[in-house]
């Protein structure tokens, strides 16, 4: 919880550069849904290139969902990856992931 909160602060308050609404929405999805199992923020997102994220998030994020649905270890996320909420918001999530991909040149914190 603390970690999530900190990430949120770093992203939205310290960073004064305007972030597009979609990226912001995607960030909220990521913080709420992914951080409990994956590294917070950049450490995880910046491991992949734009192309990789785009591939995982094509067809409204189907490849990413399938990858989790196939893994017993990701069981806790199954309800989410099967839900319509996931597909409805996958566009934003994609924009967020691509925005901070390894080769995007963007960093969430602005220093």
For residues 1 and 16, which CB has a smaller minimum distance to ligand HEC in the complex?
1
All residues at 6 or more sequence positions from 11 whose CB lies less than 8 Å from its CB, including other chains: 19, 27, 31, 41, 108, 109
Q: Which of residues 7, 40, 68, 94 is near ligand HEC by CB under 6 A?
A: 68
Of the candidates 27, 87, 44, 45, the residue with the CA atom closest to the CA atom of residue 63: 87
For residues 7 and 34, which CB has a smaller minimum distance to ligand HEC in the complex?
34
Using CB under 6 A as the binding rule, whether residue 17 contacts ligand HEC is answered as: no
Contact 8/38 with Cβ under 8 angstroms?
Answer: no
Which residue carries 């590294």 as its tokens?
39
**Which among 1-9, 11-19, 20-28, 66-74 is the span making contact with ligand HEC, rule CB under 6 A?**
66-74
Using CB under 6 A as the binding rule, whether residue 69 contacts ligand HEC is answered as: no
Using CB under 6 A as the binding rule, whether residue 92 contacts ligand HEC is answered as: no
Closest contact distance (angstroms) between CB of 67 and ligand HEC is 6
First to last CA, the chain: 25
Using CB under 6 A as the binding rule, whether residue 95 contacts ligand HEC is answered as: no
């Amino acid at each position: 919880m603390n970690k999530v909160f900190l990430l949120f602060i770093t992203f939205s308050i310290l960073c004064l550069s305007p972030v597009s609404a979609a990226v912001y929405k995607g960030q909220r999805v990521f913080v709420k849904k992914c951080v409990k199992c994956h590294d917070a923020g950049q450490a995880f997102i910046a491991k992949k290139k734009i192309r990789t994220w785009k591939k995982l998030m094509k067809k409204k994020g189907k490849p990413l969902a399938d990858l989790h649905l196939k893994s017993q270890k990701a069981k806790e996320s199954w309800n989410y990856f099967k839900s319509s909420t996931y597909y409805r918001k996958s566009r934003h999530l994609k924009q967020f992931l691509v925005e901070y991909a390894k080769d995007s040149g963007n960093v969430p914190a602005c220093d």
